[in-house]
Amino acid sequence: MRHFGLHAGLWLAVALILLPPLWVLRTSLVPESMAYSTDVFPAFSLENYQSLFGQKRFGTFYLNSIIVALGSVIIALPFAAAMGYAFARFQTGGRFGRFLVLSLQMLPPVALVLPAFAILRSMELTQSLTGLTIVYAALNIPFLAWILMGFFEGIPVDLEWAAMTDGTTAWGAFWRIVLPVSLPGLAAAGVLGFILSWNEFLFALVLTGSKTATIPVALASLQTSNGIQIGKVSAGVVLAILPLIIASRFIQRFIVQGLTFGSVK
Amino acid sequence: MASIELRQVSKIYPGSAAGVKDIDLSVADGEFVIFLGPSGCGKSTLLRSIAGLESITAGDILINGEIVNHVAPRDRNIAVVFQSYALYPHMNVWQNMAFGLRMRGSPAEEIDAKVKEAAELLGLTPLMQRRPSALSGGQRQRVALGRAIVRDPQAFLLDEPLSNLDAQLRAEMRLELVRLHRKLGRTTIHVTHDQVEAMTMGDRIFIMKDGRLIQQGPPLEVYANPADTFVAGFLASPPMNLVSGRLVEVGDGLAFRTDGAMLPIPAAFRAAYAAWAGKPVIFGLRSEDFHAAPNGDSSAPLTLQVEAVEALGPENILIGRLAGAPTQVSARLSRHYSAQPGESVTLYADLTPMHLFTPEDGKAIPRPRAAPALLRRHA
């Protein structure tokens, strides 16, 4: 009986967390006209998705988001790795340097949007995916460097020493030993950076145009003067979180792998 | 093959007491030496400096008579075996062992042949495809050794390579390392804080403390003639008994007097110790120099109030105090002699190997050197 109470409580907690997203999924799969119905599942329809990919050009925005998020991670990761390694192994910049990196994360993004816009305009990169990718990369570098620093600190310096006595240069030890050993960490950092760029709204709103909008901006544009098209918004949300769910599965695996991989002793 | 020489080598870490100061030492070609000291004494720092992994603050490091202060680790042709083994976790055993040769651009057939040879030597052949995470501690230790051997370096630097192994495996690897050294004949520096390794493995030991070299010499020589109370205490278990007291004149001889005991100084040492008559000194005698029965001319009886008995099997160690004295004394006796805690027993101290140390800095007061025990038995 006590078990029953416990389980009921747990199921309640699970429902609290899962019901809203499930309701979004349900709303995305019923016709717009029945979206606000209180029936659990009044009718099945893919019209919301069809509309998004057809008339609303969601395919383009999806592609934009993928290009920007992937591009920013590919640019940011090597810089972040170098930076994190310098912090971890050579104490470059000391505590102040580390604080500086962290302090960038404390700055409200709004403070950076207008300067970024001004800079991109002078380079004629507003309303372009290139411009947004560069800005996202810049935003990602300190964050990823911070994550990778922790990962590099976990790699025993003995490994690099062994490689250096074995005949590599310091650079060779980094390239041949540290990087391969930190692959799970790099992957985890990459996925986190991807999620961050994927979800970013403010910069995307200011720096992109109607053709170069990303998913979050496109979702916001479904809120029209005729009201919120809740069915399409729901379908858009489902589409937007789908890659993140997949990515989270990966990151989980990589982080667990990262923890058990390097055991040297 | 390589000789290694250190001249006035110092390594100072800014804002830290660690490091080494003014180290002078030389290791002959093919010699097996031990750096012995408690953790934090600078022995590993010194080892890394020789390998080129740490830059030194002052002094010169010479390999084969050439100064190598600014030579990169990869150009010193020295192999290091780390305490953590530092195996590359993303490579299998074969790749780990081949890594050094591949970095040096050796031809593939040569690499394969050398790796196979080393694997054979260390019994690693069946494990070649395994990753380090799938190996036991002893196997990892062997791979680390194999990785060093394969490269055929001028010298081996071993940084506490046995300290992560269990006791039985450690004893096996101790013998194996000595056997390997005999077979390969390469200059070897073995860093350890284990006095058994220090006594049994090397041709010479270098004892370090607080970043300084305290004493060097063949193990038995150092054991028989410790330079100070630190060496006397560190190089044996149980450590040498050290008792504070005073050197007094008795008739035409000398004696060491402390609470609960009066020990005559052997005639051979009288001249050396004469200047210390009437002064406070520290008396040192190893636990194995206590006997259950008189043993020669220089035996002196004393009474031990037994507080604990450690029966080790082959021997019994009696721990107690000289009547009323504060200092604890341990006596190593045969398994046939035992006592109960609380009992007072009469033991005979063989004073031939005794030492006196100054109370100020613990340095040994010079006296005619005791011959190492082993040599005396052969004589």
Q: Which of A117, A42, A179, A167 is nearest to B103 (CA)?
A: A167
Distance from CA of A162 to the nearest CA of B (A): 7
Q: Considering chain B, what is the average pLDDT of its residues? A: 90
- Spell out the domains of chain A, with CATH numbers in brackets: 58-261 (1.10.3720.10)
| Contact residues, chain B, for A180 at CB < 8 Å | 90
Nearest residue on chain B to A166, judged by CA atoms? B100
Run of H or E including B310: strand B299-311
Identity of the amino acid at B171: A
Determine the 3-state secondary structure of B162 from DSSP: coil
pLDDT of residue B237: 84
The backbone torsions φ and ψ at residue B375, rounded to the nearest 5 degrees and listed phi first, read -65, -35
- Identify the residue among B44, B91, B99 best suited for mutation to test binding to A, counting A beta carbons within 10 A and taking the highest: B99
Mean pLDDT, residues B116-129 taken together:
91
- Written as tens digits, the pLDDT of chain A (265 aa) is 678 889 999 999 999 999 999 999 999 998 888 888 888 888 888 888 888 888 778 889 999 999 999 999 999 999 999 999 999 988 888 888 888 888 887 888 888 899 999 999 999 888 889 999 999 999 999 989 988 888 888 888 999 999 999 999 989 999 999 988 888 888 888 888 998 999 999 999 999 888 889 999 988 888 877 778 888 899 999 989 988 888 778 777 766 655 444 444 3
The reply to whether A175 touches chain B by the CB within 8 Å rule is no
pLDDT of A94-150, one tens digit each? 888 888 888 887 888 888 899 999 999 999 888 889 999 999 999 999 989 988 888
B-chain CB neighbours of A263 within 8 Å are 89, 133
Sheet holding B344-350, edge to edge: B290-291, B344-350, B299-311, B315-322, B328-334
With an 8 Å Cβ cutoff, are B80 and A264 in contact?
no
Interface of A with B in 15-44 (CB under 8 A): none
Contact B86 A262 (CB under 8 A): no
Of B53, B85, B103, the CB nearest to A167: B103
What pLDDT, on a 0 to 100 scale, did the predictor assign at position B379?
38
- Which positions in chain B touch A173 (Cβ < 8 Å)? none
Per-residue HEC secondary structure of chain A comes to: CHHHHHHHHHHHHHHHHHHHHHHHHHHHCCCHHHCCCCCCCCCCCCHHHHHHHCCCCHHHHHHHHHHHHHHHHHHHHHHHHHHHHHHHHHCCCHHHHHHHHHHHHHCCCHHHHHHHHHHHHHCCCCCCHHHHHHHHHHHHHHHHHHHHHHHHHCCCHHHHHHHHHCCCCHHHHHHHHHHHHCHHHHHHHHHHHHHHHHHCCHHHHHHCCCCCCCHHHHHHCCEECCEECHHHHHHHHHHHHHHHHHHHHHHHHHHHHHHHHCCCC
Q: How far apart are CA B232 and CA A236, in angstroms?
A: 79
Q: Is the pLDDT of residue B213 over 80?
A: yes
Task: Write the pLDDT tens digit of every residue in A18-39.
Answer: 999 999 999 999 888 888 888 8
pLDDT score of B378 more than 50: no
Position B168 pLDDT exceeds 90:
no
Stretch B213-231: mean pLDDT, rounded? 93
Sole residue written with tokens 């063989």: B350
Residues B121-139, mean pLDDT to the nearest whole number: 90
Cα gap A205→B195, rounded to integer Å: 70
**pLDDT (0 to 100) of residue B115:** 94
Q: Confidence class of residue B332 from pLDDT cuts 50, 70 and 90?
A: very high
Q: Which residue has the higher pLDDT, A39 or B185?
A: B185
Q: What is the mean pLDDT of residues B62-89?
A: 92
Q: What is the reported pLDDT for B370?
A: 63
Partners of residue B72 in chain A, C-beta under 8 Å = 164, 169
Per-residue exposure over B309-345, b if at least 16 CB sit within 10 Å of its own CB, e if not: beeeeeebbbbbbbeebebebbbbbeeeeebeeeeeb
**CB contact A127 to B (< 8 Å):** no
Q: Judge whether A181 is closer than 8 Å to chain B, CB to CB.
A: yes
pLDDT at A264: 43
Looking at residue A257, what is its pLDDT?
Answer: 58
**ipTM of this complex prediction, to 2 decimal places:** 0.83
Instruction: Calculate mean pLDDT across residues B329-340.
Output: 90
pLDDT of residue A33: 83
Domains of chain B: 4-229 (3.40.50.300), 238-362 (2.40.50.140)
Nearest to B99 among A161, A166, A181 (CB): A166
